[in-house]
Amino acid sequence: MLDVEPDLLAAELARLGERAARPVIVLGETGSTNDDAKAAAAAGGPAGMVFLADAQSRGRGRGGHAWHSPAGQNVYLSLLARPKLDAPRVACASLAVGVAVARAAAALGVAAARIKWPNDVLVADKKLAGVLVEGQLRGARVESLVVGVGLNVLATSFPGDLAARATSLAMLGGATNRAAVAARLVVEIEAALAAFERGGLAPFAAELADRDALLGRRVRAAGIEGEARGIDAAGRLLVRAEGGALREVASGSVELLA
């Protein structure tokens, strides 16, 4: 059973300074909260609508990977936004949301969260949260944006190869009240999306550099092996390849080699 009653979440949101009630749909088990938010977007649902589930049977990550979504453990949350954005900016919105999730983690007692380009939030190289941003386009314009976040909260063990790669707020000594975690995520994501809509990644540049999990490390991305040299204003990963050329990687995933 989900211990996050809609009223509790609303109370937490009010405590964090939200003045108007927002539509919050709290579900037991669902397929994917991103799919629920996309359906709501297609049906004309309002900006700010939130979907939160106790468990997901088809939780998704980037590249079609499954997102481990057991009941009673974590936060699976999707926010429907309607920012004024051009389609090419959707991809780097996940970096702004990554910063928002890292800020939320800090407010919840875990200060050391880092962003692993393009969409992971790590602590000590273990994954605390993942971000899946999906844009619904009309031509070159974004009609709506679904921002999905999976954040490990109460889990103290993970199955299979996740055991070595994942962590949670509980394991890191952070807050474990899922209503408080979800409310903080909503507030930080909304603020970050507003800043991103106004200024792109510029308002996040300094913090992205500070929180960059890859900076100075050996990586392989888009077939390029070399040293990660940060993230540029367009959200591309910079890699200093063997031989010294600085290469820009616009999409895909990155493997940490050392």
Residue 62 or 114 having the CB closest to ligand BTN? 62
Separation of alpha carbons 121 and 102, rounded Å? 7
**Does the bond joining 118 to the residue before it have cis omega, within 30 degrees of 0?**
yes
In the list 45, 59, 200, 235, the residue contacting ligand BTN (rule: CB under 6 A) is 59
Separation of alpha carbons 22 and 4, rounded Å? 16
Mark 207-226 with x for binding to ligand BTN (rule: CB under 6 A) and - for no binding: --------------------
In the list 23, 61, 203, 230, the residue contacting ligand BTN (rule: CB under 6 A) is 61
Q: Which of residues 120-139 bind ligand BTN (CB under 6 A)?
A: 120, 130-132
| Residue 119 found at the interface with ligand BTN (CB under 6 A) | yes
| Residue 33 found at the interface with ligand BTN (CB under 6 A) | yes
**Does the bond joining 203 to the residue before it have cis omega, within 30 degrees of 0?**
no
Name the phi and psi angles at 172, rounded to 5. -100, 5
Size of the site for ligand BTN (CB under 6 A): 21
| Residue 94 found at the interface with ligand BTN (CB under 6 A) | no
| Residue 60 found at the interface with ligand BTN (CB under 6 A) | yes
H or E element that contains 76: strand 75-81
| Residue 98 found at the interface with ligand BTN (CB under 6 A) | no
The CA–CA distances, whole Å, from 201 to 83, 99, 171 equal 14, 10, 31
Mark 137-176 with x for binding to ligand BTN (rule: CB under 6 A) and - for no binding: -----------xxx--------------------------
CA 172 to chain centroid: 18
Decide: 136 and 144 in contact? Cβ < 8 Å.
yes
Residue 29 or 246 having the CB closest to ligand BTN? 29
